Amino acid sequence: MNVEGNIMRQYNDDIQLKGRMFLFDFNNPDKEAVELTITGADFNQSDFYPHGIDGIVDKGKVYIYVVSHPLRHDVIEKFEYIPGKKELKHHRTFKTFKHMYVCLKLRTANDVTVTGGDTFYFTKYGHYRSHLGHSMEMYLQMGWGGIYYYDGKSYTEVEDGLLMANGIQLSRDKKLVYVCFPMGREIRVYKRESNDYLTLLNVISINTLPDNVIVDPVTGNLITGNHPIAYQVFEHLTYPDKPGPSQVS
């Protein structure tokens, strides 16, 4: 798993925490977030370490796609949101293997953005799943990350040689893809081609480390979650009890 997933997994195991999903009502911001019940006979919640997330409304139903970092390999979990029960019903696990224990494409998944029913882009943060290996990639500036597309049947690498591709999101018209690069302090804007490959259109430099991005559904503006002080966020990843400042812009 990537360095964030690896560190948080160890931290969670040490203090016996578990991955959970919450619902926050922005129409009632004074109310606390509500934990969602997760159901599904084939879903192992004890090995659920949620990270990136996106959703889609398909034929009147709401589906949530979540990057998770289980022990052996990264996966993307698909849930159906059941409003009346405040429940997530597990539908499917996306993964691909070279053989039983080695995952080829979802090795270090970070974030996901859904293009349609069971089709999506996701970012590959790097190559190594261990803390040591990934730290080496980060400090030596190795561009071993990438962006993949899943068309419902197979995975295709549509952009490679990237240094720690992080948050990813579609534009409202689904013609553009925005990707955060915290190490470069930039957001890259890609054009989607007819074959779902990506062409770089623009690079937006910002004076902070962008982590994740969402698109305002009304205005189309980008809203990013950022880390303004680099060494403090890396310290927080190693020692989660030490807070690292964050900002929204």
CATH number of the domain where residue 182 is located: 2.120.10.30
The number of domains in the chain is 1
User: Splitting the chain (249 residues) into consecutive groups of 10 residues, what average pLDDT does each group show?
Assistant: 45 60 93 95 90 93 94 90 95 78 72 96 79 67 84 92 93 97 94 96 94 94 91 77 88
The model's pLDDT over 73-105, given as tens digits with 9 standing for 90+, comes to 889 999 999 998 999 999 999 987 655 555 566
166 annotated binding-site participant: yes
111 annotated binding-site participant: yes
- DSSP 8-class letter at 176: E
53 annotated binding-site participant: yes
Residue-range definition of the domain harbouring residue 22: 3-248
The model's pLDDT over 14-53, given as tens digits with 9 standing for 90+, comes to 445 678 999 999 899 999 999 999 999 889 888 899 999 9
212 annotated binding-site participant: yes
CA–CA distance, 10 with 75 (Å, rounded to integer):
18
Q: Which pLDDT does position 57 carry in this prediction? A: 94
Looking at the chain, the whole-number percentage of residues with pLDDT higher than 90 is 59
64 annotated binding-site participant: no
Name the residue type at position 109.
A
Q: Which pLDDT does position 229 carry in this prediction? A: 85
Q: Is 134 a catalytic residue?
A: no
**E strand map for the chain:** 22-23, 34-35, 37-39, 50-58, 61-68, 75-82, 87-94, 97-99, 102-103, 109-116, 119-124, 145-150, 155-162, 168-170, 176-181, 186-192, 198-205, 209-215, 222-227, 247-248
